[in-house]
Amino acid sequence: MSEETATLTLTVNGEDITRTVRVRQNLVDFLREELGFTGSHVGCEHGICGACSVRMDGTVVRGCLTLAVQCEGAEIVTIEGLTDTGEIADLQDRFVERNAMQCGFCTPGMLMTAAELLAQKEEMDRAEIREFMSGNYCRCTGYHAIIDAIESVNNARLKG
C-alpha cells in the first residue's frame, strides 16, 4: 500500500509553493499539516460546517471537499493571508467589538464567507445575510452577533 503522490505547484497567500503531496490528501489537511496554516479548521470533513472554507482562485471552497492535487496552479488564500492583506480588517475589528465569536473555531471560515458577501457590494437585509451565511455552522453564538457585525460593516462600506 505505497501511497500515490504527485507534485503540486500553487500559490498560497501570495507565496509560490511546490510540494509532493499524497493524492488522497484534501486541501485543508495540506494547508494545515504540510504548510502550517492552522487557521483553517476541520469540523465535519463532509462539506456541511464550513470551518475549512478557503478562497481558491477568488471563490470560497470547502477545503475538505477539495483535493490538494486539484489546486495545481491555483491561488489559495487562507485566513492568514486575508488578515495580512488587510482586506477585511474592518470586519475583523467589528467581530471583536461585537463579540461575534466565542470559541473562535468557526471564525476563519465565517470571515472567509463574509468577505465574499462584502465583496458583492450589495445592500442586504438581515434575512439575506442570514441566508448567505447559512453554509457556516457556529455552535456558540446563535448567529445574532455575527449577523450584526456583517450587517454593520456591509452598510458602512456601502456608505463609505
Choose which of 71, 124, 133, 153 interacts with another protein (CB under 8 A): 133
Give least dist CB 2 to another protein, A. 7
Task: Tell whether residue 70 is a contact of another protein (CB under 8 A).
Answer: no
Stretches 4-12, 66-74, 117-125, 143-151: which one binds another protein (CB under 8 A)?
143-151
Distance CA 109, CA 27 (A): 14
Task: Tell whether residue 48 is a contact of another protein (CB under 8 A).
Answer: yes
Task: Tell whether residue 66 is a contact of another protein (CB under 8 A).
Answer: no
- In the block, cell 472567509 appears at 112
Task: Tell whether residue 120 is a contact of another protein (CB under 8 A).
Answer: no
Give least dist CB 74 to another protein, A. 19
Distance CA 114, CA 136 (A): 10
Q: Which is nearer to another protein, 72 or 97 (CB)?
A: 97
Q: Which is nearer to another protein, 2 or 73 (CB)?
A: 2
Interface ranges with another protein (CB under 8 A): 1-3, 22, 24-25, 32-33, 37-46, 48-49, 51, 78-80, 83, 92, 95-99, 101-108, 111, 126, 129-131, 133-147
